[in-house]
Amino acid sequence: MACGGGGSSNGFSGLVPTTTGSTSPAAPATTSGVVTGSYFRNAKVCIDSNNNGRCDASETSTTTDANGAFTLTGKGAVVAEIGTSSKRYDPVTSIESAVTQPLVFRAPAEANGVVSSISTEMVALMDANGGDLAAARTAFAKRLGVSETQLLADHNKITDVAIRGVLQTEIDQSIERIAEAVAEAGTAGDLTGALRNRFALDQINNVVVIYAENRGFDNLYGLYPGANGVPGVNPTSTPASSAVAPQKDFDGSTLPVLPPVWGGVTAAGQTTTITQAQTAGMPNKMFRIDDAAGFFNTGTVIGQSTITRDLVHRFYNNQMQIDGGKNDKFAAYSDAGGLSMGYFDGSKMQLWNLAQQYTLADNFFMGAFGGSFLNHQYLVCACAPIYPNADADTSPAKASISAIDTDADGNFVKLTAAVTSPASVLNGAPIYKNDSTLTPKDASGTFYAVNTMQPPYQPSNNAPAASDSAKLYADTTKANTLPPQTQTTIGDVLTAKGLSWAWYGGAWNSTSATAKSDRVFPAAVPPAAQAPNFQFHHQPFNYYAAFDPATHADARAAHLKDFDADFLTQAAAGTLPAVAFYKPQGNLNQHNGYANITDGDAHIADLVAKLKASPQWKNMLIVITYDENGGFYDHAAVPKADRFGPGTRIPAIIISPFSKKGFVDKTQYDTASTLRFMTHRWSLPPLAGLVVRDNALMKNGAKPMGDLTGALDFGGKS
């Protein structure tokens, strides 16, 4: 691969015999190669004599030509600096495109003829393994399923379409991580370390995603030191937080005060209560719900063990609250009025302490606008569920399946006529013309399910039809039963790669047993005291045809599991699958309306302690995050991307022996960043939604979403 001439380390070989027997100075040693992935034109290339991953002024350098080729005087490791003045040329399509994010490629001295993101990844693996090229090359080729020769070749010239596709996918994924590393290191930081951290992923063998409920970042971590916290309240906010957006009324005028908390502050059955009337006149700003002096001017203290009322958290409502990025209509488009502006002192939580020991991500957004249903789907497929031919069935039973009514731009729910909806939110919560479950039909004739629908398989809140004696399916005549989904999920690509995975649900076994017996379920949103405490739309894989209980019983048994019976046993034995999703049951997930903060906090902290005691801990990554914001205000600007999201900022804690300790990670992430990590770790084909999201972000001038590697440091374990 390397076309370098022989010679000493200074680039000259001294005197060598000529064909006539005389001696003469040898020509300087040269290194020739190509910068590819496709081909990069006008990239600066140098011999990296001090191995710092940069082209220093003292180092020999040149520029690539129109075919990405270069020739350098000298031998050694090669660096290619690809700036925004460079161009990327695709020889297949003959299309030249701009480079929008600076990149740095590296290649080792022993294999420097093809300089690419793949060679960069290989050097990063060498940095982590002590410089062993052979070991890095062998392991890397095995992971991709290609030969070592193919790994180091110019992939554009490989004739095997499948192999070329595998290499191109790895190149595209690697380029994202390289761009992040270059941005992190800046002009003077440790670039080789930043690259190493993003590519030494083979040391992670187990990913555990713990998925809690309904909390915005400011709501729990707005006071966290060094985080982008509550403006004007967190004195250590980094960067200095922008001001809280004064909340506005429906007509765009600034509210003189916050609306009352419609229906009162606390959920039914609580010993501590605050009525709606007691909340009138709250100042138009954020406030601490658990203030030691009491809620507002009531003198009544709301503790974190109290269950507060639920707040609306639906697809279009969330977009309306964000209001194009201004975040100024959270109170207006909430059914809980002023409560939407509240936050807690999260320092009382055990999870806060875990964040201080590991990494807290303070720029992590919910993947989709709205609620739990859609964000659970986004977590597993980076997509929105499809309801085919929703307008084909006009039977009375399906009358309520009509699409949500939106304005001419297709973005916002319409208010009803003034006679039924208040003119001002100070007079009452908004009422909508038709706030249903489906988007309007798009240009391709597709309806998307964006608000809660029930799974087609039991357990489901829709009972089986009378003809279903086996009690395996939900009644399909019900308007809110979603047809089985067939989109590709992370489970599909993990299985295709031969990797183990499972979704573990709290109360899954007991709820499944109930579904097959007397069907006596609690209400759709049960209070914490009811059992089994299971929310049917919190098991996203139960919506997919691949887990049909009759035709795919084996897959169902292998991948849809119970927390108590399966997860805890496997964690203790060190037999958790490569990827484990865990959803706590209702009373332990911190969801407003039926769960408090304290119980879920203690439960998740205890689970982390059990995972740290597992034989698998030394190679584990734990991500604790939330499905969505629960309708609470967060001041951080939401990046604009595609029609489904991202939505409001949420908390995320990254826990691993490789997590940066006591670190606040400011990399831009969303819910599907967990999928990006899995994709990069195991070289999986990216789900279509990941590509759509990142392309949309870049089109709008924003960065692509990160893959969590910014939170990790593979320089040493602890």
Q: How far apart are CA 288 and CA 257, in angstroms?
A: 16
Name the phi and psi angles at 126, rounded to 5: -65, -40
Check whether residue 459 and residue 497 sit in a common domain.
yes
Looking up tokens 């590296």 gives: 106
Please give the Cα distance from 621 to 696 (Å, whole number): 28
Assess if residue 613 is contained within a domain: yes
Confidence of residue 454 (pLDDT cuts 50, 70, 90): very high
- Is residue 590 domain-resident? yes
Same-domain check for residues 170 and 210: no
CA atoms of 144 and 298, how far apart (whole Å): 62
Residues 93, 210, single domain; the answer is: no
**Torsion sign, CA atoms 472, 461, 437, 402:** positive
Query: Which one, of 243, 177, 279, 240, lies nearest residue 712 by Cα?
Result: 177
Q: Are residues 548 and 683 in the same domain?
A: yes
Measured CA to CA, the distance from residue 603 to residue 211 in angstroms comes to 12
Query: pLDDT, tens digit, for every residue of 577-590?
Result: 999 999 999 999 99
**Cβ atoms of residues 75 and 31 within 8 Å:** yes
3-state secondary structure of 98: strand
- Provide the token pair at 100: 């929008």
Please report which helix (H) or strand (E) contains residue 633, including its range: none
pLDDT of residue 3: 41
- Going by pLDDT thresholds of 50, 70 and 90, the confidence category of residue 15 is very low
The span from the CA of 222 to the CA of 344, in Å, is: 8
User: Is residue 68 located within the same domain as residue 210?
Assistant: no
Confidence of residue 521 (pLDDT cuts 50, 70, 90): low
pLDDT given at position 533: 81
Binning pLDDT at 50, 70 and 90, where does residue 22 land? very low
**CA-CA distance, 229 to 239, in Å (whole number)?**
9
Strand ranges (E), 159-240: 206-212
Q: How far apart are CA 548 and CA 525, in angstroms?
A: 25
SS3 560: strand
Q: Assess contact for 626 and 213: CB atoms under 8 A.
A: yes
- Full strand arrangement of the beta sheet holding 39-41: 39-41, 87-90, 95-98
**Residue 574 and residue 208 in contact, taking contact as beta carbons nearer than 8 Å:** no
Are 210 and 150 part of one and the same domain? no
* Element containing residue 24 per DSSP (H, E): strand 23-25
Picking from 107, 70, 109, 108, the residue whose alpha carbon sits closest to that of residue 86 is 70
**Per-residue pLDDT, 20:** 43
Q: Is residue 247 part of a domain?
A: no
Residue 10 lies in a domain: no
Which residues contact residue 23 at a Cβ distance below 8 angstroms, ignoring those fewer than 6 apart? Answer: 15, 16, 17
Instruction: Say if residue 353 is in the same domain as residue 444.
Output: yes
pLDDT of 215 above 80: yes
Q: Using DSSP, how many helices (H) and how many strands (E) does the chain show?
A: 16, 26
pLDDT band, very low/low/confident/very high, at 12 (cuts 50, 70, 90): very low
Residue entry with tokens 């200074």 = 10
Sheet strands side by side (includes 30-35): 69-73, 30-35, 114-115
In the predicted model, what is the mean pLDDT of the chain?
90
648 and 591 in a single domain? The answer is yes
- Which amino acid does the sequence have at 471? K
Give the C-alpha distances (Å, rounded to integers) separating 52 from 43, 58, 63, 78: 18, 13, 19, 11
- At 498 the pLDDT is 95
Task: Kindly state whether residue 237 falls inside one of the protein's structural domains.
Answer: no
The confidence score (pLDDT) of residue 55 equals: 96
Is the bond preceding residue 225 a cis peptide, omega within 30 degrees?
no
Instruction: Write out pLDDT tens, residues 102-135.
Output: 999 999 999 999 999 999 999 998 988 889 999 9
For residue 578, which of 285, 62, 208, 252 has the smallest C-alpha distance?
Answer: 208
ω before 464 within 30° of 0 (cis)? no
CA torsion angle 536 539 541 547 (round to 10): -60
Is the residue at 232 inside a domain?
no
Domain range enclosing 372: 206-214+347-711
Neighbouring-strand partners of residue 562: 505
Domain count, the chain: 2
Q: Do 674 and 540 reside in the same domain of the chain?
A: yes
The percent of the chain in helix, strand and coil, each rounded to the nearest 5, is: 30, 15, 55
Question: What would the two tokens of residue 189 be?
Answer: 């930081």
Contact 375, 627 (CB under 8 A): yes
Question: Are residues 210 and 66 located together in one domain of the fold?
Answer: no
The CATH number of residue 408's host domain is 3.40.720
Q: Which two tokens stand for residue 501?
A: 């995975």
Question: Which tokens is 170 given?
Answer: 């790895």
- Is the pLDDT reported for residue 415 higher than 90? no
Q: What is the mean pLDDT of residues 52-63?
A: 95
Do 68 and 111 meet the contact criterion of CB atoms below 8 Å apart? no
Would the pLDDT of 445 be above 80? yes
Q: Do 210 and 145 share a structural domain?
A: no
For residue 304, give Cα distances in angstroms to 45, 58, 347: 57, 60, 11
The residue that leads in pLDDT, 685 or 347, is 347
105 CB burial (10 A radius; 0-12, 13-18, 19+)? buried
Query: In the chain, pLDDT over 70 holds for what percent of residues?
Result: 92
Residues 108 and 106: their CA atoms lie apart, in Å, by 7
Residues 118, 210 share a domain: no
Half-sphere exposure of 475 (CA within 13 A, CB side): 14
Mean pLDDT across 355-371: 98
Residue 38 lies in a domain: yes
Q: How many residues can be counted in the chain?
A: 718
Q: Region 135-158: what's the mean pLDDT?
A: 93
Is residue 280 assigned to a domain? Answer: no
Give whole-number Cα distances, 446 to 384, 391, 403, 438, 709, in Å. Answer: 11, 10, 11, 10, 36
Place of tokens 């080789």: 192
**Of the candidates 116, 146, 121, 149, the residue with the CA atom closest to the CA atom of residue 136:** 121
